[in-house]
């Protein structure tokens, strides 16, 4: 059993889906968790259901919000030991139909938001590690950035999404080097098809509301069928199966792993 007692985690986009499963598992293993989501209702609801948690609803792509999330977490819990950059959504189309706004939105949520959150936390993380190092104590801290096989394989119709998710792999590898001296492991977990609203069968009605705009969401049924049929485990993953490897990276079991990408897709690829 992994023990996260005394550790504080920030999990972005944890009002539902994979993020909520990660927050639930971290809390069950003893961590205090700061829940965040763009949507206030699931954010509050998740926090009410998860022990030792607090909620801060807000938009991770708003320039000042990541700093607020860091400040609120430190005020409430006094430390930041784990950061999981999970918030995200898809806004797909073939390149000739992809607007500037659409492409930029994908970079903003999947790459710029993780960059801003990690930069906002960097002051506290560095100062704290310097003190601990001076006292001869090595306290490991963890960053897990969520990516996708859309980035590592190239998801058709996902130029923006795949670029943002590939960009965060670059960010991960840079920070693994910059933050090794502060005893921070920085890794990525990349998913295949995990059962959440993002991969519901695509119909004319399947929409996601992001900042007042209805965005078509889902994957064509024939793509889901082909991908699952061709994959070794022959099925989609559950949110618990997605959260497990994230907890591994957050735990002491992964203290000597940094700058890596772990694909959690049941062997599925595009
Ligand atoms: N489900 C999959 O098959 C799959 C595959 C690969 C990668 N992923 C990635 O996993 C992560 C979680 O996705 P999920 O499948 O659980 O989807 P989900 O829609 O169930 O959960 C994502 C959460 O992120 C929140 N969010 C979106 N934009 C936000 C913003 N600007 N600020 C704060 N919160 C925001 C949403 O409100 C939502 O609650 C995403 O980064 C996604 O790209 C999912």
* Ligand 1 atom at shortest distance from the alpha carbon of 20: 16
Q: Give residue ranges with CB within 6 A of ligand 1.
A: 12-13, 15-19, 36-39, 42, 59-61, 86-89, 109, 146, 148, 191, 193-194, 196-199
* 18-49 per-position pLDDT tens digit: 999 999 999 999 999 999 999 999 999 999 99
Among the four given CATH numbers 1.10.10.60, 2.60.120.20, 3.40.50.720, 3.40.50.300, the one describing domain 8-196+237-264: 3.40.50.720
This prediction has a pTM of: 0.98
Taking the centre of ligand 1 as the mean of its atom positions, its distance from the CA of residue 135, in whole angstroms, is 39
* pLDDT per residue as tens, the chain (270 positions): 799 999 999 999 999 999 999 999 999 999 999 999 999 999 999 999 999 999 999 999 999 999 999 999 999 999 999 999 999 999 999 999 999 999 999 999 999 999 999 999 999 999 999 999 999 999 999 999 999 999 999 999 999 999 999 999 999 999 999 999 999 999 999 999 999 999 999 998 999 999 889 999 999 899 999 999 989 999 999 999 999 999 999 999 999 999 999 999 999 999
Residue-level pLDDT at 82:
99
265 CB-side CA count, 13 A: 25
Tokens of 163: 């670029």
Residue with tokens 């000597």: 256
Tokens of 157: 């119709």
Helix ranges (H only) for the chain are 17-28, 40-49, 65-77, 100-107, 113-134, 149, 159-179, 221-230, 239-250
Task: Sketch the domain layout of the chain as residue ranges.
Answer: 8-196+237-264
Q: Is 89 a catalytic residue?
A: no
Are the C-beta atoms of residues 139 and 183 closer than 8 Å to each other? yes
* Residues facing 137 on adjacent strands: none
Rounded CA-CA distance 201/70 in Å is 36
Rounded CA-CA distance 19/88 in Å is 10
Rounded CA-CA distance 83/114 in Å is 10
Residue-level pLDDT at 112:
99
């Amino acid at each position: 059993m992994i023990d996260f007692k005394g550790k504080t985690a920030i999990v972005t986009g944890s009002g539902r889906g994979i993020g909520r499963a990660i927050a639930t598992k971290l809390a069950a293993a003893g961590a205090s968790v700061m829940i965040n989501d763009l949507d206030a209702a699931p954010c509050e609801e998740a926090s009410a259901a998860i022990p030792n948690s607090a909620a801060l609803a807000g938009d991770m792509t708003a320039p000042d919000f990541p700093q607020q999330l860091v400040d609120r977490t430190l005020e409430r819990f006094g430390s930041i030991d784990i950061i999981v950059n999970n918030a995200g959504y898809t806004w797909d189309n073939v390149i000739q139909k992809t607007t500037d706004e659409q492409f930029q939105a994908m970079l903003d949520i999947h790459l710029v938001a993780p960059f801003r959150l990690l930069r906002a936390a960097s002051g506290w993380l560095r100062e704290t590690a310097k003190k601990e190092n001076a006292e001869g104590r090595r306290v490991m801290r963890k960053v897990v950035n969520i990516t996708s096989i859309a980035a590592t394989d190239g998801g058709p119709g996902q130029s923006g999404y795949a670029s943002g998710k590939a960009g965060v792999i670059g960010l991960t590898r840079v920070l693994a080097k910059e933050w090794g001296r502060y005893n921070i492991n920085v890794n990525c977990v990349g998913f295949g098809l995990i059962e959440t609203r993002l991969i519901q069968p695509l119909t004319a009605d399947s929409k996601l509301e992001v900042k007042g705009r209805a965005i078509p969401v889902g994957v064509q049924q024939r793509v889901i069928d082909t991908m699952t049929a061709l994959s070794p485990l022959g099925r989609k993953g559950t949110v618990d199966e997605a959260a497990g490897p994230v907890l591994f990276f957050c735990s002491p079991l992964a203290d000597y792993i940094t700058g890596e990408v772990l694909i959690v897709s049941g062997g599925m690829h595009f």
